[in-house]
Amino acid sequence: EFKLADRVNRIKPSPTLAVTARAAELRAAGEDVIGLGAGEPDFDTPQHIVEAAIDAARNGQTRYTAVDGTAELKQSIIDKLHRDNQLSYSAKQILVSCGAKQSLFNLMAALLNDGDEVVIPAPYWVSYPDIALLFGAKPKLVKAGAESRFKISPQQLEEAITDKTRLVILNSPSNPTGTAYTKAELAELGSVLERYPQVVVASDDIYEHIIWREEPFSNIVNACPSLADRAVVVNGVSKAYAMTGWRIGYAAGPAPLIGAMNKVQSQSTSNPTSISQAASVAALNGDQGCIEPMLKAFKERHDFVLDKLNSMPGVSCTPCDGTFYCFPLMQEAMERLGCDDDVAFAEKLLNETGVALVPGSAFGLPGYARISYATSMENLEKAMERLHKALS
């Protein structure tokens, strides 16, 4: 066996990307597969954004930029955080990366020592625990199921924090559950964090704009401004502007931490793609009206999928506040089909119905499944029909 570093043996490949790859494989082999595993909008990037990228390529914006992003993009991010989030940052507090994923990677690289603990509410976005493991830290999972709309309580947070806790990661609206914390709930979590000055909080706001509940979006810094000097806001253009392939995300936080993250990035990827940065300026500064039709479509699909799932025997699904995922409890349906766990269940569904979804255990909460409705209504109708048949 080829000898590899311990750190790489501690982690696994992203399970959501694996499901997408498996579905693509079956499709290539001629199977009629409907993928409900995708973590990306099915829309094209709005034209004005694409045009900005073409202009940039034609106008010679094709060289290295500053590692932490162009001055222009950093200013657009500062303006965006002010406009949308009522947060004030200076240029030294902003780092542009190759996706929000790299921002989180840089954060954990810059912050965590061996043995440190990272508090991660479960179900979680698949990469949080593995990035923590890569840097020798220990994920401390805090479970919250459908009964609490997948939200952890202040008591749970308090119990999870120890002397070793260095980081807490919040993601709202959440991948995989589609639920979001209210400002009041965040204020309660914030008042726990106020008592632990050694703890940094990361707020993954990537689904900020894909929200339809009545209360507007807010993050932990809005709810608890006293945490600003140890909070890192992570966001990006991938989900709101259908720009997953462009790979631009960013982090905003205390200058010393952002500076350290910049140093990590300077020794790995250097700057994110110059052309993508120009496109992101157009996304953030341009007409925000391009988000609305996508949001409307996601909401319509959510309503349809929720209704269909809740009519299936052994399935119950909590309504979402946003995103393009839902996270139905399918334990009873699994047992009835004679599956030992949700991985076997997802495989059986893929093989027998051609519907690809991601088992809840991939997100740290077995018995559930993540369904992405970032696909056409036509596909969703077919998929729900097939699932209904298989489970009846």
User: Which residues lie near ligand PLP (CB under 6 A)?
Assistant: 39, 99-101, 125, 171, 175, 204, 206, 236, 238, 244, 249
**Closer to ligand PLP at the Cβ: 39 or 354?**
39
**Closer to ligand PLP at the Cβ: 219 or 238?**
238
Report CA torsion sign: 101, 107, 109, 114: negative
Q: CA neighbours within 13 Å on the CB side: how many for 206?
A: 32
Considering the complex, what minimum distance in angstroms separates the CB of residue 283 from ligand PLP? 12
**Closer to ligand PLP at the Cβ: 171 or 179?**
171
Transcribe 52-81 into DSSP letters: HHHHHHHTT--S---TT--HHHHHHHHHHH
CA distance 70 to 137: 32
Considering the complex, what minimum distance in angstroms separates the CB of residue 332 from ligand PLP? 28
Considering the complex, what minimum distance in angstroms separates the CB of residue 60 from ligand PLP? 26
Q: Look up residue 163 and give its two tokens.
A: 């002397």
Q: Which residues contact 70 (CB under 8 A, 6 or more apart)?
A: 96, 274, 277, 278, 281
CA distance 284 to 305: 31
**Closer to ligand PLP at the Cβ: 242 or 384?**
242
Considering the complex, what minimum distance in angstroms separates the CB of residue 78 from ligand PLP? 18
Considering the complex, what minimum distance in angstroms separates the CB of residue 383 from ligand PLP? 20
As beta bridge partners, residue 54 has none
**Closer to ligand PLP at the Cβ: 124 or 345?**
124
Considering the complex, what minimum distance in angstroms separates the CB of residue 108 from ligand PLP? 13
**Closer to ligand PLP at the Cβ: 175 or 222?**
175
**Closer to ligand PLP at the Cβ: 129 or 249?**
249
Considering the complex, what minimum distance in angstroms separates the CB of residue 101 from ligand PLP? 3
**Closer to ligand PLP at the Cβ: 38 or 391?**
38
CA distances, 227 to each of 109, 119, 182, 190, 342 (Å): 21, 16, 17, 8, 38
Considering the complex, what minimum distance in angstroms separates the CB of residue 38 from ligand PLP? 10
Phi, psi angles (nearest 5°) of residue 299? -65, -45
Place of tokens 């793609």: 273
Per residue in 222-239, is it b (16+ CB within 10 Å) or e — as a string?
A: bbbeebbebbbbbbbbbb
As beta bridge partners, residue 94 has 252
Q: In this chain, which residue has its C-beta nearest to ligand PLP?
A: 99
Cβ proximity of 384 and 309 under 8 Å: yes
